Amino acid sequence: MRKLEIFDSTLRDGAQGEGISFSLEDKLKILAALDSFGIDFVEAGNPGSNPKDLEFFKQAGKLGLKTKLVSFGSTKRKEIPPEEDGNLKALLTANTEYIAIFGKSWDLHVDKILRVSHAENLDMIEQTIKYLTDSGKKVIFDAEHFFDGYKHNPDYAAETLKAAERAGAVTLCLCDTNGGRFPDEIDKIIHSVNSQVNTPLGIHCHNDNGCGVANSMAAVSAGAVQVQGTFIGIGERTGNANLAVLIANLQLKLGYSCVPAESLPLLKETAHFIAETANIALPNSMPYVGSSAFAHKGGMHVDGVLKDPATFEHITPASVGNERNFLLSEVSGRAVTFAKLEKIIPGLQKTDPLVQTLTTKIKELEHQGYQFEAADASFELLVQKELGQFQPYFEIIDFKIISSHYSHLLNRASALIKVRVGGEHEITADEGDGPVNAIDKALRKALERFYPALSNMRLADFKVRIVGGSEFDADVGRNTAATTRVLIESTDGKTSWTTVGASKDIINASMTALLDSLEYMLYNNREQNFNYSKSC
């Protein structure tokens, strides 16, 4: 099994993605996750660029990492010797064994960005790498814009690699920096380059034309031994090659060794942890690790998977830490409902009347605007209520919402709510950013006296969609009484769940989803000692 080096740039290239801003603590957490997962190299930034990265390298050096930490910088500035270049001096202070240095391999950049002669650029590359290797460092040379440079001037692009090789670089990483090349081009160029240098090659692809993963795989097939990317594909513009996808493809499909075998079942967990730390939503459709990667909706697909998973799944979900999911909708049949029920009621027979009862009920509710394919928590509550095994933990007696608009920048709302738990009543009020946030805070404040565990719960996402059912009112000249569907994702910091509500009134739809969310958490924590455990 051929070993590939996996080089993660989430903390450097990934941090350049729009909306991404890692704190020092974030970077250390992600570093620990990547180290635990078995990534060979983690590129973590430039200690000379900002105080945060400088402090990061100090803290990271104390962690006893198995992964090889890499600092990142550019070739020396023109017209000064490398030993006088402040950025190179800063790279040495990071105390990393490996340093990644990027240099220009496209003559367009040499002419218009650096504005130096072609020969001087080659000297800058060679002198920089020699200075660092003479200082005891192992240098990975990132040949920036290599494929564009090779297409324009192949001889000069190759000369930049030879300059880095002469200076002692341990890896020559070829970069598709603009992300515009295709797999056949990558393949041909790497085969050509392999015959001109002896140093091992790496690949660094951006995803501007959607080929980041495919280009990286083509490079490996052509002989590259180091694969660079970011773990969930974040990065400049449209992002970098997605390492979560690449690792699964290369190791599970093609038999390369990328990470320890025992790490692969942690692929989804690691991807979601990094996404959560980066404060971004991981796309449901992301291969291998997305929540929809093994989701089945069509009745024929579900029936096939139940008979033999290989009929509609290219790998076993558990091999990457994911799980199979059957999606409920108005087009679903008994097979889908049964598959969902079987996870809640082990041993249930497909002929049980409950299967048909719930299939019919789901179709009716979805006709009213509900959607259960993304709201498993609401579905589970529906099942428990149909079985008569669910008793509500509280009852809403009354609530009022008052919205205020103080300025064009501030829209606040206040909520007053009265609840009953057993024979006791609680009245509370709170305010929030809009009516849903206000009533969520007021309701949880009222219930936390009885159920302290609710203090750990928070809303993670709130989605509103107008669905069918509107009526045209000729008097006002527009559609009215449209149905609003609300999906609420909640979390307790460890797990998350989604609930749904639908109504012609957005507040009522939100309340339905919110109440389901609270009830679901209470139901799933029913073994805990609440201050008050009697049902209403």
What pLDDT is recorded for position 290? Answer: 93
How confident is the model over 295-306, as pLDDT tens digits?
Answer: 887 778 877 887
What pLDDT is recorded for position 317? Answer: 94
173: left (phi over 0), alpha (psi -120 to 50) or beta: beta
DSSP conformation class of 469: -
What pLDDT is recorded for position 459? Answer: 83
395-524 belongs to which CATH class? alpha beta
Contact (Cβ atoms closer than 8 angstroms) between residue 209 and residue 250? no
What pLDDT is recorded for position 387? Answer: 82
- Report pTM: 0.74
Which contiguous run of DSSP H or E holds residue 334?
helix 334-344
What pLDDT is recorded for position 465? Answer: 83
All CATH 3.20.20.70 domain ranges in the chain, comma separated: 5-257
What pLDDT is recorded for position 281? Answer: 83
The CATH H-level (homologous superfamily) assignment of domain 5-257 is Aldolase class I (3.20.20.70)
Q: How far apart are the first and last CA of the chain?
A: 62
How confident is the model over 107-151, as pLDDT tens digits?
Answer: 999 999 999 999 999 999 999 999 999 999 999 999 999 999 999
All CATH 3.30.160.270 domain ranges in the chain, comma separated: 395-524
What pLDDT is recorded for position 375? Answer: 83
Q: Which residue has the tokens 């990132």?
A: 142
What pLDDT is recorded for position 334? Answer: 66
State which residues of the chain have pLDDT below 70: 328-335, 404-411, 468-481, 526-536
For residue 354 the two structure tokens come to: 């409950």
DSSP conformation class of 206: B
Q: Please name the amino acid found at residue 271.
A: A
